[in-house]
């Protein structure tokens, strides 16, 4: 347990500094491996029932203050906790001698299997059942409930990892910083933190040794955490922040290089709130609306009406500025309880993104219809694209559907090497493409984007990844179609120069990153960006590529890095 002053390091994924007491996000505890076997099923059965009743009641209590869209899922989960069938299943396990937490786990697993067998709505309840299991186990083990704790004063959240659905609902007024023990630079938690403007650091070994109540200070730009900081240290961190802000002052207007080569600067968003926040920034629209965040953590898919209303509001927020909407990209680390296609050995390589929508056409049909209605209502500059496209058939399938409902601009994401290599054929089918460097890096390097251990592989500086981006840009050039980047690489000022040199026409990122990227572009002409791209591509390693590019950088830019 760390109580004294110490400094820890991780991967900074969202710039900015913060100092506040720590609040720990508790992981699910799992079975108590030291618990005794059951010798009195009556007594243990009563204990488990009491734990389940407490879980059910606490979920009902949470419902009272929860946002409207979370209420149905809390209600359904509370109901499952008081399900008689589940209690009977646990009794059976206790009679066989299972300890209390082992009985809960085994019975829940059987029950979940049964729900999945029933399919449809029932199958979708399996995820909620696991939530009941984790909460009941905490009760039985005398541990605090898992998940994000409630707090009144601002805190820095510390977690082993945070689910995207948990991160998406954090309030930046209350959560001043996020630190996780695991996680990679392009994990969705990192992306969402940057989008919310919350300074964040992932892969901080030892952070879970800090106990509740200690003070932390962090610098998300350099990935530094100070445990029990002195006043001077907090001041130093704030001074760093100010220095950066000064370097950025005066950066405004359209994105363009020093010699006027235009690169649109766009925002990544996930909710109406994000859209409204982002629209206030000096930027040229949204290059990625991750619509799946409307679908996460819900008992059912949002209705056609709800989706139409949401998309209309998002389009209205940006007025006549471009909005690129990505259709549902669920699966892998963004599971949907109502569209569970069963357990997969390798979810990132499984039925996620467009593949999930091909299995559940109802989801994409409703979404496209809602987007078409929002377009009709606003006549906004709406572009719609599909995630995770790997084949021409998939691109065609999506384009036919999207055009069929009257959407004006139809595109695909290039985030699978197969799509990058065949970008020109892909682009002959659709109107535009946007490179998702997060997944393109994960799939090119065969490195799980959630795994901080693989950080050296998980960077778009890898020459093989840049080569993929080059293929995509060549496809854009040969077909005359628009190519942008909407992965995290676009928000890195140095990589943004390289991407510009490779030929991308737009960069989409967390709105808080736009100023730095705009300032970087203004300091360099296109020829320099192209030279940088050549240096980075030709380098034998990611590190050498970056170092070579740094040699061409304007000294003023160094303050932004």
User: In residues, how long is the chain?
Assistant: 561
- CB closer to Mg ion out of 134 and 439: 439
Question: Which residues, in sequence order, are CB contacts of 280 under 8 Å at separation 6+?
Answer: none
| Shortest Cβ 258–Mg ion spacing (Å) | 31
Binding of residue 438 to ligand PEP (CB under 6 A): yes
Binding of residue 390 to ligand PEP (CB under 6 A): no
Smallest CA-to-CA distance from 387 within 340, 428, 443 is with 443
Q: What is the DSSP secondary-structure string of 215-256? A: EEEEETTTTEEEES--HHHHHHHHHHHHHHHHHHTT--SS-B
| Shortest Cβ 204–Mg ion spacing (Å) | 25
Map residues 168-207 to x or -, x wherever contact with ligand PEP holds by CB under 6 A: -----------------------x----------------
Site for Mg ion in 424-483 (CB under 5 A): 436, 439
Binding of residue 127 to ligand PEP (CB under 6 A): no
Provide the H-helix boundaries in 226-344.
231-248, 272-279, 304-318
CA angle 189, 191, 194 (to 5 degrees): 110
504 within 8 A of 263, measured Cβ to Cβ: yes
Binding of residue 439 to ligand PEP (CB under 6 A): yes
51 within 8 A of 86, measured Cβ to Cβ: no
Binding of residue 415 to ligand PEP (CB under 6 A): yes
Binding of residue 248 to ligand PEP (CB under 6 A): no
Alpha-carbon dihedral 520, 526, 528, 534, rounded to 10 degrees? 110
182: three-class secondary structure by DSSP: coil
d(CA 355, CA 233): 49
Q: From the list 10, 221, 484, 487, which residue makes contact with ligand PEP (rule: CB under 6 A)?
A: 487
Selected range binding ligand PEP among 203-211, 252-260, 308-316, 433-441, rule: CB under 6 A: 433-441
- CB closer to Mg ion out of 326 and 522: 326
- CB closer to ligand PEP out of 437 and 531: 437
Among Mg ion, ligand PEP, none, what does residue 191 contact (CB within 5–8 Å per kind)?
ligand PEP
| Shortest Cβ 165–Mg ion spacing (Å) | 17
* Residue whose C-beta lies closest to Mg ion: 439
Binding of residue 448 to ligand PEP (CB under 6 A): no
Binding of residue 296 to ligand PEP (CB under 6 A): no
The number of residues that bind ligand PEP (CB under 6 A) is: 11
- CB closer to ligand PEP out of 194 and 486: 486
188 is catalytic: yes
Smallest CA-to-CA distance from 49 within 109, 91, 111, 107 is with 91
Smallest CA-to-CA distance from 147 within 34, 59, 64, 19 is with 59
Binding of residue 415 to Mg ion (CB under 5 A): yes
- Tokens representing 100? 């209390």
Backbone phi and psi for residue 12, each to the nearest 5 degrees, phi listed first: -70, 125
How many CB atoms neighbour CB 455 within 10 A? 17
**DSSP class of residue 410?**
E
| Shortest Cβ 353–Mg ion spacing (Å) | 7
Binding of residue 549 to ligand PEP (CB under 6 A): no
Point out the catalytic residue in the list 138, 486, 524, 529: 486
> Which stretches of the chain bind ligand PEP, using CB under 6 A?
191, 288, 290, 329, 415, 436-439, 486-487
Positions at the binding site for Mg(2+): 415, 439
- Active-site residues, by number, are 188, 486
């Amino acid at each position: 347990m760390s109580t004294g002053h110490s400094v820890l390091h991780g991967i900074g994924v969202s710039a900015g500094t913060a100092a506040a007491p720590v609040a720990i996000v508790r992981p699910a505890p799992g079975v108590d491996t030291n618990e005794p076997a059951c010798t009195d099923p009556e007594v243990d059965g009563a204990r488990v029932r009491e734990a389940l009743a407490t879980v059910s009641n606490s979920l009902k209590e949470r419902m009272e203050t929860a946002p409207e869209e979370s209420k149905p899922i809390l209600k359904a989960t509370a109901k499952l906790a008081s399900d008689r069938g589940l209690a009977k299943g646990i009794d059976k396990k206790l009679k066989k001698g299972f300890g209390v937490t082992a009985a809960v786990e085994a019975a829940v697993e059987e029950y979940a299997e049964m729900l999945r067998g029933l399919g449809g709505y029932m199958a979708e309840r399996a995820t909620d059942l696991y939530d009941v299991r984790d909460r009941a186990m905490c009760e039985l083990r005398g541990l605090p409930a898992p998940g994000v704790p409630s707090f009144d004063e601002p805190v820095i959240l510390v977690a082993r990892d945070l689910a995207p659905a948990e991160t998406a609902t954090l309030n930046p007024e209350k959560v001043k910083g996020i630190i996780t023990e695991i996680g990679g630079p392009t994990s969705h938690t990192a992306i969402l933190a940057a989008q919310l403007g919350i300074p964040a650091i992932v892969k901080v070994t030892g952070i879970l040794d800090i106990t509740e109540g200690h003070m932390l200070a962090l610098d998300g730009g350099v990935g530094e955490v100070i445990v029990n900081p002195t006043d001077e240290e907090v001041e130093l961190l704030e001074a760093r922040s100010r220095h950066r802000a000064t370097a950025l002052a005066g950066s405004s207007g359209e994105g363009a290089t020093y010699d006027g080569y235009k690169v649109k600067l766009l925002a990544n968003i996930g909710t109406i709130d994000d859209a409204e926040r982002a629209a206030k920034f000096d930027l040229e629209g949204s290059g990625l609306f991750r619509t799946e965040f409307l679908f996460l953590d819900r008992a059912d898919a949002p209705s056609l009406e709800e989706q139409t209303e949401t998309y209309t509001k998002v389009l209205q927020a940006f007025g006549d500025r471009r909005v690129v909407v990505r259709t549902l990209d669920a699966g892998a680390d963004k599971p949907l309880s109502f569209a569970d296609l069963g357990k997969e050995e390798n979810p990132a390589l499984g039925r996620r993104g467009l593949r999930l929508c091909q299995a559940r056409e109802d989801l994409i049909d409703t979404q496209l219809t809602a987007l078409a209605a929002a377009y009709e209502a606003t006549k906004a500059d709406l572009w719609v694209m599909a995630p995770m496209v790997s084949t021409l058939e998939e691109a065609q399938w999506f384009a036919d559907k999207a055009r069929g409902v009257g959407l004006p601009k139809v595109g695909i994401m290039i985030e699978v090497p197969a799509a990058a290599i065949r970008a020109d054929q892909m682009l002959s089918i659709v109107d535009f493409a946007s490179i998702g460097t997060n997944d393109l890096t994960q799939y090119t390097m065969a490195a799980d984007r959630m795994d901080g251990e693989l950080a050296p592989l998980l960077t778009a500086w890898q020459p093989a990844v840049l080569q993929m981006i080059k293929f995509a840009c060549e496809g854009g050039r040969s077909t005359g179609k628009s190519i942008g980047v909407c992965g995290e690489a676009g928000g890195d000022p140095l990589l943004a120069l390289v991407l510009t040199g490779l030929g991308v026409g737009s960069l989409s990122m967390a709105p808080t990153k736009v100023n730095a990227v705009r300032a970087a572009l203004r300091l360099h002409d296109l020829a320099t960006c192209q030279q940088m791209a050549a240096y980075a591509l030709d380098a034998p390693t990611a590190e050498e590529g970056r170092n070579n590019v740094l040699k061409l950088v304007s000294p003023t830019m160094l303050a932004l890095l």
